[in-house]
Structure 1
Amino acid sequence: MTSIASWNINSVRARIGIVEKFLREEAPDVLCLQETKVECGLFPKGMFEQLGYTHIVTNGQRMHHGVAIVSRLPLADARKYDWQANGEARHIGVTLPSGVRLDNVYIPAGGDIPDRRLNPKFGQKLDFFGRMTDWSRALVDTPTILTGDFNVAPLASDVWNHKALLDVVSHTPLEVETLARLQAASDWVDLGRHFVAAPTPLYTWWSYRAKDWEASNRGRRLDHMWATPQLAPKAVSHRVVQPARSWERPSDHIPLVTEFAF
């Protein structure tokens, strides 16, 4: 069995304490981090290595973005992608000892206005998806896991109020359609909804703005774990670690953990 976790940590150095808590309590074989907000040379390897996560690949950037994969298992063929051709560190890929490809992505949030004419950041988000969709088509015959913060909650049950959020970036029909094209490009299986079928609510993010995030429960499912069709049957469980949202100095995202039979 191999367990793979994914977590937008919103600064790995600022929240190194809760990352350690998660690794000690959940002990995944591999952890994919997004929004690490640190240059590669300053990534805090020490704690990970002390816990046995001695295989570390990073695609970092000072103060912004950043992705990393830390693992107890050897990692090969580290690959970095720049889907916006602007130097932002948002995608890193590796190959696991089983031969399974693992790609970790932090897709742009897209700003506040869902119109590329009025908000260039929204256009960049759509274009990022477009380039990833072209890339994805070549993976159809390759057992692959794609995980990370996609910054889109596709289903009505992936948000606290579907009607209220239809015009809010992350749940607009255009973003949902764009994400669906990426999913169709390799017939990706959404493991979150494979194990927790709609219309059961499933969230991975709650805003910092809420005074009591748990009481208001205005969540969105922005974080995802997908697998190509030949690999998806090897997924044996998937869960979200919701208590992490209440840990000391929490991220606004929570971890996902998927266990695979390989």
Structure 2
Amino acid sequence: MRIISWNINSLRLRLPLLKELIQLANPDIICLQETKVPDPLFPKEDIEALGYPYIVYRGMKSYNGVCILSKHPIELSSLTKDWCGQEDCRHIAVDFDFLGKPVTLHNFYVPAGGDEPDPDVNPKFQHKLNFLQEVTAWFKDNLSQNSILVGDLNIAPLEHDVWSHKQLLKIVSHTPIETKGLTAWLKTGFVDAMREIVPSSEKLYTWWSYRNKDWEKTNRGRRLDHLWITPTLVPYLQAITVYKEVRNWEKPSDHVPILLELK
């Protein structure tokens, strides 16, 4: 079972890149974030033509949006929710069968939080903190036994998830209050699959800013995208892959796809 997560930063704009990614990685399931397409305009026929007949999506114009594309049967899960009282298309969940086990797959796009890491002056940062608190409280009581959670969580929690721990401590995505909040969410019953494979002592990034034209040379990245699994699935964990080369494709997203492989 090969599951890809990718903040595609506009599905319709980057459909050609999605086709290239499928040829490169041959995933069974694709979870996309920031699709930026309202549901009536979702390119369903184009996706089906790529070999993914099972599709669930939640979208809105210009912002946010999540979808899950699959080669195999999936069903929209009743656990799909809106958060913080906003219908802003940041979460979708599906149920499917894996080796006779019922599995729930969550796809999240967590609020970025703006530029100022002060909830008193920045409503976007307050929204992000509220979001983390709400999902953490909910998962404590509602986590299914066999669960996978992927997505752009917009937080790089560990020291080596950023290019400079000291310089980014006051930068949104790596502030202590955010990393503490994400860790609390992880501890509701998940294992960080990426760090099961790549030790936390090694640098690991999934995002490089558009502002840095020489991004590959300077390598000032952050690990904002995540793959989590419940302990019941850890014995099946085979590999993770970060497709860094996609960042060099024509008109790329600032995030790169990440792959979870369960044997």
TM-score by length of 2: 0.96
Match of 2:196 in 1: 194
**Structure 2 residue identity aligned to 1:45:** K
Letter in 1 for 2:256: I
**How far apart, in 2, do the equivalents of 1:140 and 1:19 lie?**
30
Question: Structure 1: which 5+ residue stretches go unaligned?
Answer: none
> Stretches of 4+ moved more than 2 A in 1?
77-80, 138-141
- Once residues 77 and 137 of structure 2 are traced to their aligned partners in structure 1, the CA distance between those partners, rounded to angstroms, is 20
Where 2:9 maps in the other structure, the secondary structure is coil
Specify the alignment match of 1:120 in structure 2. 123
2:55 matched to which residue of 1?
56
Contact kept? 1:57, 1:78, Cα under 8 Å = no
- 1:219-230 matches, within 5 Å, as 219-230=221-232
Shift of 1:47: 2.5
- Candidates 251, 254, 261, aligned match of 1:252: 254
Shift in Å, 1:140: 4.6
Matches within 5 A, 1:101-140: 101-140=104-143
Q: Does 1:86 align with 2:89?
A: no
Q: Distance in 1 between matches of 2:117 and 2:217?
A: 28
Asked if 2 retains the 8 angstrom alpha-carbon contact of 1:20 and 1:47, the reply is: no
- Residues 115, 171 of structure 2: 8 Å contact kept: yes
Residue type at the aligned position of 1:260 = L
Q: Are the aligned partners of 1:157 and 1:198 in contact in 2 as well (CA < 8 Å)? A: yes
Distance 1:233 1:88 in 2: 35
- In structure 2, what is the Cα distance between the partners aligned to 1:105 and 1:36? 12
| Contact kept? 1:189, 1:226, Cα under 8 Å | yes
Measured in 2, the distance between the counterparts of 1:258 and 1:163 equals: 30
Question: CA–CA distance in 2 between the matches of 1:103 and 1:138?
Answer: 15
Q: Are positions 1:215 and 2:217 aligned together?
A: yes
Give the structure 1 partner of residue 243 of structure 2.
Answer: 241
Identical aligned residues as a percent: 47
Determine helix, strand or coil for the equivalent of 1:21. Answer: helix
Among candidates 156, 164, 167, match of residue 164 of structure 1? 167
Contact 2:4/2:29 (8 A) holds in 1: yes
Q: Distance in 2 between matches of 1:145 and 1:62?
A: 27
Q: Distance in 1 between matches of 2:37 and 2:225?
A: 21
Kindly state the Cα deviation for residue 77 of structure 1 after the two structures are TM-superposed: 3.4
In structure 1, distance between residues paired with 2:235 and 2:117: 36
**Which moves more between the two structures, 40-49 or 3-12?**
40-49
How many Å separate the matches in 2 of 1:64 and 1:141? 29
Query: Match for 2:140: what amino acid?
Result: R
Query: For each residue in 1:134-159, what CA deviation from the matched residue of structure 2 results, as whole angstroms up to 9, or x when unmatched?
Result: 22113455200000000000111000
Structure 2 residues without counterparts, runs of 5 or longer: none
Out of 153, 173, 176, the residue aligned to residue 173 of structure 1 is: 176
- How many residue pairs match? The answer is 259
Matched residue type, 1:216:
T
Relative distance call for 1:173 and 1:127 in structure 2 (3 A) is same
For residue 97 of structure 1, report the CA deviation from its aligned partner: 2.3
